[in-house]
Amino acid sequence: MKLQPLVPLWVVIPYVVALVAAAGWYYWKTNIRGKDKKASKPKVKDTRKWTQKVNWLLVRRGTLVMLPALVALGPSVQGGVSSPGVANLDVIFAVDTTPSMAAADYTEGLQRIEGAKQDLALLAKQLEGAHFEVISFDTEANVVLPMTSDATAFASALDGLAPQISSYSQGSGIDKPLALITQELKASQDAFPDRFRLLFYLGDGEQTAEAKVTAFTPAAKYVNGGAVLGYGTAKGAQMIKRTGMEDPNNPSATKGEVITTIDEKTNTLVPAISKLDANALKKIGTELKLQYTDRNQGGPITDVYQSSKAQLAIDKSQRVIHYLNLYWLIAALYGGLLCWELHILVSRLIEVRNQSGVPVQAKKTGGNHGR
């Protein structure tokens, strides 16, 4: 068990001291001073019952106000260990989300984007504890997930990755994320110069934009390791058309309406074919000094991880202990006590309401008998 305060101790300690003082004063007032006053002293046969009732009320309400202080102290238990170097890693994933990533020539006939997402999940598991940032690029490059070590946020960003809506596409540019990648890598270096930076570029290398491809060399000076990963086949495949109205439970379906293009020979619409351009991806890898790997068959990510140089930043001879906060358990207990207190309050209100309904004459009669 370890305490990991959620708020400063200088706030918690005065709160606890004030509660203890208030509880002591209340106990003295009800159990000591109260007994010395004849007017407030119960009958002899009810003294023990009255004292127990007061003490139980003190315990119940005292616990109710003490539990928030316990939550603030952040009691935690050990949840696992990791290498300290992992937390010293800033990892940027640049993912191609152009319509060509909807081509269904990944293993088992799945869309290419599915292969990229599977590899992202595998890499994140290998690098658990590191800081991740996800950049997607199609017509524009965008930061889908700012740098974070929150695994839940990363998983949510991963679920949201999908090829661009086909009607929005204005051609594929494999260098589209270059400026943003360079900007984010430089920002990481400026803010945390001691950290190790990895870059993983995932795409099919297909360039359909007319502009000349800009070299990735300017970003290389900020990169310590990573990899360029390719998806698709040289033969190519048809691309599933995305409209934005896909089933949210199956956004990467392997069947459906396909993207078409005009056949110059017949002047008719035919299915457009997207092909992997491995040479373009290898060139990016060379410029970034990263290894290119064809990942279209899926499988273990071990080789990619080992070639990414991530291990150079990880000292496996040491371990960092991670703790799981138990505030939720205390909060559940607090909720139960609060419901109990509300139940008692409502019961008393009902009792008072029922008593107020006694006829006035009856009250007077009762009063006369009392005389």
Residues 162-180: tens digit of each pLDDT? 998 877 777 778 999 999 9
Q: What percent of the chain has pLDDT above 90? A: 43
pLDDT reported for residue 207 = 92
Q: What are phi and psi of 211, to 5 degrees?
A: -65, 150
pLDDT (average), residues 308-316: 74
| Separation of alpha carbons 358 and 187, rounded Å | 76
pLDDT (average), residues 76-89: 70
Q: pLDDT band for position 34 (50/70/90)?
A: low
Distance separating the N- and C-terminal Cα atoms of the chain: 64
| Separation of alpha carbons 35 and 26, rounded Å | 13
Sign of CA dihedral 59, 64, 70, 74: positive
pTM of the model as a whole: 0.63
Mean pLDDT is lowest, of 116-120, 302-306, 355-359, for 355-359
* pLDDT > 50? residue 131: yes
Q: Where exactly are the structural domains of the chain? A: 2-78+324-370, 84-317
Mean pLDDT of the chain: 82
Residue 255 near residue 190 (C-beta atoms within 8 A): no
Residues 45-59: tens digit of each pLDDT? 455 555 555 567 777
75-84, 189-198, 218-227: which is most confident = 218-227
pLDDT (average), residues 89-107: 94
Sign of CA dihedral 329, 331, 332, 337: positive
Q: What are phi and psi of 102, to 5 degrees?
A: -95, 0
Partners of 143 in the β-ladder: 135
Tokens read off for 330: 């205390």
| Residue 161 CA: distances (Å) to CA of 48, 90, 166, 248 | 68, 20, 15, 12
The contacts of residue 276 (CB under 8 Å, 6+ apart) are: 204, 205, 206, 230, 231, 232, 233, 234, 236, 294, 296
pLDDT reported for residue 354 = 83
* pLDDT > 50? residue 303: yes
CATH number of 84-317: 3.40.50.410
Partners of 237 in the β-ladder: 274
pLDDT reported for residue 142 = 96
* pLDDT > 80? residue 191: yes
pLDDT reported for residue 318 = 52
| Separation of alpha carbons 2 and 323, rounded Å | 8
| Separation of alpha carbons 225 and 126, rounded Å | 15
Q: What percent of the chain has pLDDT above 70? A: 79
The contacts of residue 173 (CB under 8 Å, 6+ apart) are: 207, 209, 211, 213
Q: Which residue would you say has higher pLDDT here, 212 or 246?
A: 212
CB atoms within 10 A of CB 150: 12
pLDDT (average), residues 251-256: 60
Kind plus residue range of the DSSP H or E element containing 151: helix 151-159
Q: pLDDT band for position 371 (50/70/90)?
A: very low
* pLDDT > 90? residue 157: yes
* pLDDT > 70? residue 315: no
pLDDT reported for residue 363 = 46
Residues 261-282: tens digit of each pLDDT? 888 788 888 899 999 999 999 9
| Separation of alpha carbons 239 and 101, rounded Å | 8
Residue 290 near residue 199 (C-beta atoms within 8 A): yes
pLDDT reported for residue 232 = 96
Sign of CA dihedral 276, 280, 286, 289: negative
* pLDDT > 50? residue 44: no
